[in-house]
Every structure is written in C-alpha cells, then in structure tokens.
Structure 1
Amino acid sequence: MIRPLPALLAVALVATASPAAAYWEYGHQTIAQIAEANVRPKTRVAIRALLAHSDLLDTPECKASTMSDASVWADCVKPLKDADGKSRFGYAYSWHYQNVSICRPFDLTAPCKDGNCVSAQITRDVALLKNKRAPMKDRVEALAFLIHFVGDLHQPLHAGDKDDKGGNDAKADYGLYGPARLNLHSIWDGYLAERAISSPPPLVRRYPASVRTALGAGSVTDWSRESWQISHDAAYGSVLSDPCVPTPARLKLDDATIAKLVPVARLEVERGGLRLAKLLDEALG
C-alpha cells in the first residue's frame, strides 16, 4: 500500500501543478543539503558568505539565507509583484524547465531559444558565480537560481515533454489516490519524490569520492539528455507500452509501478545533489 501524504499537502501539490511547477520543496531542499554536505570546505564558506547578502534580493517574503531556503527561493518569488502590479520575476518563468519532445531526437535548440530554459540558465549562473567582479546582488541571485535549477533539471518531467506541458495535462492516479486534477507531473514532483527521499538509507550524507566522481560526471547537456531519456523511459514508459502513443484520458500508476520508479527518482535526487556540488566547487571552490 502506498503511504499517503498529509491531506493538506496533497491538495497543495495538485493545486500548484504547472509547466514550471516546483519540484516539490522536499526534493529541492534534499538536493541542496546533499550538495552542501559534499562541496569542498572552501566552497561551503564561499556559499555562506554570498547567502549572508541575500537581503540584496529584496524578497523578504522569500528567504535565501541558507542553501535549503535558497533551493526554493526561485519558486517562492514567482507570484511577487512590483508597485505597479507587474510580475517581478515573470522573465524567469521559462527558466525552470525545457520542453524537449520525447518522441523526436534530443535537441535543445528550440526549447532553449535565447537561453530561456533550465540548462542554459544553469550554465549562465555558473559563469556569473565565477565572475567575482559581477555585482554582489547578481551573484547572490545566480546562486539561488543555480541551487534551484539543478533540482529542476533532475525532475525528468522538467526535461522531457509529450506536448502535454511536461505531464501536467496527463491526468493520472497514484496508487488508490486519484482526484480529478492529479497529473503525472505532480506525482513526480511530490508523491514519488517524497517516497523516494524518505526511503532508507538517508540521502543526505557525505558520499565517497568514487561515487561523487561517478554520479557527477558529464556536462549540463549530458545531464539534460539523461533526464530527457528518463522522462521517455520511466515517466511515460512506465505507464504506456509505447511512450509516444496517444495518452489515454487517465494514466494509472499502480503499486508495482511505483515501487519500480522509487529507485529511479531516488537516483535523480542523488545525482542532482552531487552535480550541484560539482558545479559549486567549479564556480566557488
């Protein structure tokens, strides 16, 4: 039997799903905590020094003074408006995902036009962090965005798409739980991530150097392709005999399917944390 989440949390997860929906806070915070535990000591000092200036972001409603807080800052600021009622961070909406079709060859060209996708922004944020001449506010913002976006990239439905807004339009049941608005994206964002992260052993720990090297290998483009492939093979492939056939009115993730997906989701969280640590070491260590 699948362990349910608290009722209020379940409602929140379903209600907030969107193409750029949060890789639920638990996922982002766990990835940030894994990274913090695995960066070099010098990098950890530099991160804390930058986040000590998080007040420069002028978002008192959305804290970013720790890595855990910063990991969800990019989602927290989405609804903020300026004095004229205009969105302060609307320009960053498309930076949380990249809708790469799982039914065509992998190609970031169109989804990342003008740098408006998650992988392009990760690269941009690393470059900003490396530039010690950049304004402090810009570097703090880049750090908060980077911590969040690496998490987004490792939620496969932020990297692969079937003309359904990354699974948001694919209604689905999670075990016996199947409210009308529940969809495939929100399941991967929340329910599946929660079960994967809470399964033993704890994910937040110092990993051996060999594991850090193995899971941290590759480039941002490599990681994009990998997450896109997982979207095809696991996110869609686990519930459809052919991921590219028309999606039925409602998908069903039964207990056996969920059990098979837990280690997939769990590995993505580990990869996200160790790859974030790698990028932070490169930029700040």
Structure 2
Amino acid sequence: MIRKLSAALLALVAASPAHAYWEYGHQTIAQIAYANVTPRTKAAVRRILATQTLLETPECPAGTIEDASVWADCVKPLKNAASNSRFGYAYSWHYQDADVCAPFDLTPSCKDGNCVSVQIERDVKLLRARATSPKDRVQALVFLIHFVGDLHQPLHAGDRNDKGGNDLKADYGIYGPPKFNLHSIWDGPLAERAISTPPSLVRRYPAAERVRVAKGNVTDWSREGWQVAHTAYAAAIGGDGCGPVPPRATLDEATIEKLTPISREEVRRGGIRLAKLLDEALG
C-alpha cells in the first residue's frame, strides 16, 4: 500500500508542472514586459484589455496582462455552434519548427504566414494601424503577448521533425516514464525551476541591458531560439543534437543544472523583447 501511494504521489508531482507550467512561463514573460514598458504603453495595454468582452470568450478572461498571456492557449478547445473549433485556424501560429539539423530557414515553417514569427510581426502592425477595429486590436494584443512567449520556448522555434520534441520521450531527473517528453520538460519542470530560481526575473532592467537584449528583429530572435533548440536536443541525446535519437532520452541532475540558466535566460529575453514590441506598437 505504501509503495502504491508513493507511486501515485510521484506521478502527481511529475505530472503537475508539465500541465501547469507554461502558464507560469507566459505569465512571467508578460510581467517582465509590463515592468519594462513606458507608462504610456502600460496605459494603452490596460485600455485595450478593458475591451476584452469584444473577444466573446468569457471562458477565457483577458482583462490583465497575465490573463492575456495565456488566452491563446485557453481558447484552443472552444467550439462554435456547429461544434467546430473557433480558433483552429490559429493552431499553427504558436510555433515554427525549423529543422535544427539543417541551415536556418523559416520558409518551410512559415508557408502562407502560418508560424509564430510572422504572426508576431502581423500583430504589431495591427496594433500600430489606426484603422484596426477595436475587436481586432484587442485580439492582436492578446495574441502578441502570448506568441512572444511561445517564440522563447525553444522547442516552439526548432525541432527534428518530431512535433517540437513531443515525440521524443524523456526522463527528467528522478521522474521517469510515462509522464514526460522533451517538449513537456521545457514547457514544464525545467522552466518552472528556472523561473523560481532567485533572484526574481520580474523587475525593471537597466536601459542599456534592455537595448542589448532587445537588439535585432523577430527573425534574429527566431534564429537564436532555433540555436537553443539544438542545445536542448544535444543535452537530451548525449552531446550531438543531430545524432541518433534514443527510444527515450534522459536528463540527469547535472544536465538539468546546465540547462536551468539557459531556460531562465529565454524567459528574461522574452519579457524584455515583448516590452520593446509593445512600446513600438502602443507607446
């Protein structure tokens, strides 16, 4: 009985971060951004989010920047009157799985604009345009806040033709099968550990640091995330990110220790870069 209870508790502990974390990650990126935008941008964000009823998604509130950061995931299961997905058209907007074992190229991933980097640029343009309707404006804002977070989860930026690491089963420290794959580890327990490691990432950063981190454009940030994705695979499969893939990868404690600051830096970059885009669009 004790062994069964222990196994059940272990499964719960292993499962919970993977289910819940990327809400934590998106919300943290949004909080960092809000701490680093101008007062004028903060006022614009509050004013636009006050029109959240235009989204017609009462099941998925977006009245605060934290709520807005997870809105795009919250609405995925919503159906229309015909029981069809209301937001199915946006599924491919959350990622761009550029091959980490080939030269960097977004063209295959971004066909017809259906990838995260193109949608980030589109949302900024919609927010800057005076002719954008109030409904399209609030939707562009909540998508932008979420998609910048997605871009800084490296397995949304690159993969090995395995659905962003979802097909690569993996063990995380002492937590083994059947709970994790490489994607869920970076979504969940690894990023949770990274964000909860002190000092807090949510603070106002010096101007020079903000300029340095936010340098470049969305394509530059995509290339950087793609490179981090290669590092993620290399750590999981033993040093060569393009080597043979084992049936199940193992991230031991030493590997987790090395990856934690990398994950932490991606969250920080995401927040500072979201602040830059919000200022450009609204400030």
TM-score (norm 1): 0.93
The residue correspondences of 1:209-220 to structure 2 (distance < 5 A) are 209-220=207-218
SS in 1 for 2:235: coil
Q: After the TM superposition, which residues 111-260 of structure 1 pair with which residues of structure 2 at under 5 Å, given as runs?
A: 111-232=109-230, 234-239=231-236, 240-260=238-258
Partners of 1:216 and 1:164 lie apart in 2 by: 30
Q: Find the structure with the greater CA-based Rg.
A: 2
Counterpart of 1:11 in structure 2 is: 15
Deviations 1:9-32 (A, max 9, x none): 743555x6xxxxx97100000000
Q: For 1:65-113, what per-residue CA distance to the aligned partner results, in whole angstroms no more than 9, with x for missing partners?
A: 0100000000000000001101000000000000100010000111000
SS across alignment from 1:24: helix
Superposed displacement of residue 6, structure 1: 8.7
Confirm or deny: 8 A CA contact 2:14 2:175 kept in the other structure: no
Q: Which whole-Å CA distance do the structure 2 matches of 1:113 and 1:246 have between them?
A: 29
Matching residue of 1:77 = 75
Equivalent residue, structure 2, for 1:88: 86
Structure 1 residues 133-160: Cα deviation after superposition (integer angstroms, max 9, x where no partner): 2110001000000000000000000001
Give yes or no for contact 1:23–1:152 (8 Å, CA) kept in 2: no
- Is 1:104 aligned to 2:102, yes or no? yes
Report what 1:282 is aligned to.
280
CA displacement 1:172-203 (0-9 Å, x = unmatched): 00001012241000000010110000000000
1:170 alignment partner AA: L
| Partner residue in 1 for 2:22 | 24
Structure 1 contact 23–155 (Cα < 8 Å) conserved: no
Q: Which amino acid aligns with 2:77?
A: P
Structure 2: runs of 5 or more not aligned:
1-8
Deviation, 1:163, is 1.1
Find the aligned partners of 2:16 and 2:135 in 1 and give their Cα distance. Answer: 31
Q: What amino acid is aligned across from residue 246 of structure 1 in structure 2?
A: P
Name the stretch that deviates more: 163-172 or 176-185: 176-185
**Matching residue's letter, 2:187:** D
Q: CA 1:23 to 1:280, structure 2 compared with 1: closer, same or farther past 3 Å?
A: farther
CA RMSD of aligned residues (A): 1.5
- 1:252 is paired with a residue whose SS is strand
Equivalent position amino acid for 1:213 in 2 = V
SS at match of 1:276: helix
| C-alpha spacing 1:9/1:52, structure 2 compared with 1 (3 Å) | farther
Identity %: 68
Determine the C-alpha separation between the residues in 2 that align with 1:149 and 1:6: 32
> C-alpha displacement at 1:132, in angstroms?
2.1
Q: Find the counterpart in structure 1 of residue 6 from structure 2.
A: none
Distance in 2, matches of 1:76 and 1:10, equals: 22
Structure 2: distance between partners of 1:180 and 1:8: 12
Distance 1:23 1:167, change over 3 A: farther
Residues 23 and 151, structure 1, Cα contact 8 Å, conserved in 2: no
Q: Distance in 1 between matches of 2:43 and 2:13?
A: 34
Structure with the higher fraction of residues in helix conformation? 2
Q: CA deviation at 1:245?
A: 1.6
Separation in 1, partners of 2:73, 2:274: 18
Query: Residues 7, 205 of structure 1: CA spacing in aligned structure 2 closer, same or farther, 3 A cutoff?
Result: farther
Residue 37 in structure 1 maps to residue 72 in structure 2: no
CA distance in 2, matches of 1:33, 1:255: 29
Q: Does the Cα contact within 8 Å between 2:127 and 2:137 map onto a contact in 1?
A: yes
What is the number of equivalent residue pairs in this alignment? Answer: 274
